């Protein structure tokens, strides 16, 4: 099956959108959609690990998502705890490293503790990195990086693009090759603004809870057929 994908992204980033609409279309509560979405996360992580995609980043909670009803926010964080309880031991077994992109200190205590525990338990894992973007905002990340660089005493001429990237949450990881957003919306919603400068974008109408192995494969097939030029001409790339 792997031959299906002559070119896999080294880093796949996903905006997991549409849980609420998925639930509403079924006469269910939004939280039921989030529960189904958590199942989709398990499926996609497992398949990415099997295929050998080394970096996977999932947008789980944006800094703007605090504006949602209190009960929905609480339900999302409850699901996160359940997820970590089951998945961290499995990630350890499967050699998957857990990382958080975002302001962990701004999360509730139980979630903060479980995330820190998960990150330390899997710190040695190397087969894949699973980044959960939680309490994450792209602009805040850029401002934070600038502030951290200044605090590190770096002189203005030391502010290079590469150096700057070392102060982002994604330090040491490649930029996303492919950005997927589910459920029809075509916007970034403050996601990985610095890192997505040259990412390929793929939008699908499929709602996140329905995004399974088939939908993932379709996104990867489309990606493999894209022509990335990075400013060059196609002739240069083909060596003609
Ligand atoms: C994505 O689904 C999950 C989070 C943002 C946490 P939504 O909850 O945004 O679902 P829609 O977009 O309202 O359908
Ligand atoms: C983006 O989805 C954030 C996550 C998927 C966690 P939203 O549903 O919050 O985005 P907007 O508000 O529609 O742009
Ligand atoms: Mg949404």
What's the mean pLDDT in 129-156? Answer: 98
Q: Considering every ligand atom, which ligand is closest to the CA of 67?
A: 2
Determine if ligand 2 sits within 6 Å of the CB of residue 61. Answer: yes
Residue nearest to atom 1 of ligand 2 (CA): 189
User: Residues 164, 166, 170, CA angle at the centre, nearest 5°?
Assistant: 115
Whole-model pTM? 0.97
Q: Which ligand 2 atom sits closest to the C-alpha of 16?
A: 5
Return the closest-CA partner of residue 66 out of 117, 34, 20, 108: 108
Domains and CATH numbers, the chain: 11-136+179-188+196-225 (3.40.1180.10)
Q: Which residues are catalytic?
A: 17, 65
CB neighbour list of residue 168: distance below 8 Å, 6 or more residues apart:
141, 142, 145, 194, 195
pLDDT tens string 18-44: 999 999 999 999 999 999 999 999 999
**Gap between the Cα atoms of 127 and 53, Å rounded:** 9
Long-range contacts from 64-71, C-beta under 8 angstroms, 24+ separation: 64/137, 64/189, 64/190, 71/31
Residue 30 Cα: closest atom of ligand 1: 8
Neighbours of ion ligand 3 (CB under 5 A): 17
Please check if 181 is assigned to a binding site: yes
Q: How confident is the model at residue 3 (pLDDT cuts 50, 70, 90)?
A: low
Does 12 sit in the ligand 1 pocket, CB within 6 Å? no
pLDDT tier at 109, thresholds 50, 70, 90: very high
Confidence band, pLDDT 50/70/90 cuts, at residue 240: confident
Mean pLDDT of the chain, nearest integer: 97
User: Pick from 127, 105, 130: which is nearest to 116 by CA?
Assistant: 105
Q: CB neighbours of 12 closer than 8 A, spacing ≥ 6?
A: 48, 53, 55, 56, 57, 176, 177, 178, 180
What's the rounded Cα separation, in Å, for the pair 126 and 129? 7
Strands in 96-101's sheet, in edge-to-edge order, are: 96-101, 128-136, 55-62, 11-15, 178-181, 200-203
Amino acid 70: pLDDT:
98
> N- to C-terminal Cα distance for the chain?
32
């Amino acid at each position: 099956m792997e031959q299906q994908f002559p070119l896999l992204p080294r880093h796949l980033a996903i905006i997991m959108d549409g849980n609420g609409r998925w639930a509403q279309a079924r006469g269910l509560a939004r939280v039921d959609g989030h529960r189904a979405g958590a199942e989709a996360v398990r499926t996609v992580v497992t398949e990415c690990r099997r295929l050998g995609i080394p970096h996977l980043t999932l947008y789980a909670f944006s800094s703007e998502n605090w504006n949602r009803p209190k009960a929905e926010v609480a339900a999302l964080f409850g699901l996160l705890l359940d997820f970590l309880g089951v998945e961290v031991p499995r990630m350890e077994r499967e050699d998957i490293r857990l990382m958080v992109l975002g302001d962990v200190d701004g999360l509730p205590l139980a979630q903060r503790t479980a995330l820190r525990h998960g990150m330390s338990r899997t710190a040695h894992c190397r087969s894949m990195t699973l980044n959960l973007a939680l309490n994450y905002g792209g602009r805040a990340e850029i401002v934070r990086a600038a502030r951290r660089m200044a605090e590190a005493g770096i002189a203005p001429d030391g502010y290079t693009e590469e150096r700057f990237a070392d102060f982002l949450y994604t330090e040491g990881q490649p930029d996303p090759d492919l950005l997927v957003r589910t459920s029809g919306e075509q916007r970034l919603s403050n996601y990985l603004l610095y890192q997505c400068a040259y990412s390929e974008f793929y939008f699908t109408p499929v709602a996140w809870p329905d995004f399974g192995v088939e939908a993932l494969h379709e996104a990867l097939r489309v990606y493999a057929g894209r022509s990335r030029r990075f400013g060059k001409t196609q002739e240069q790339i083909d060596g003609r």
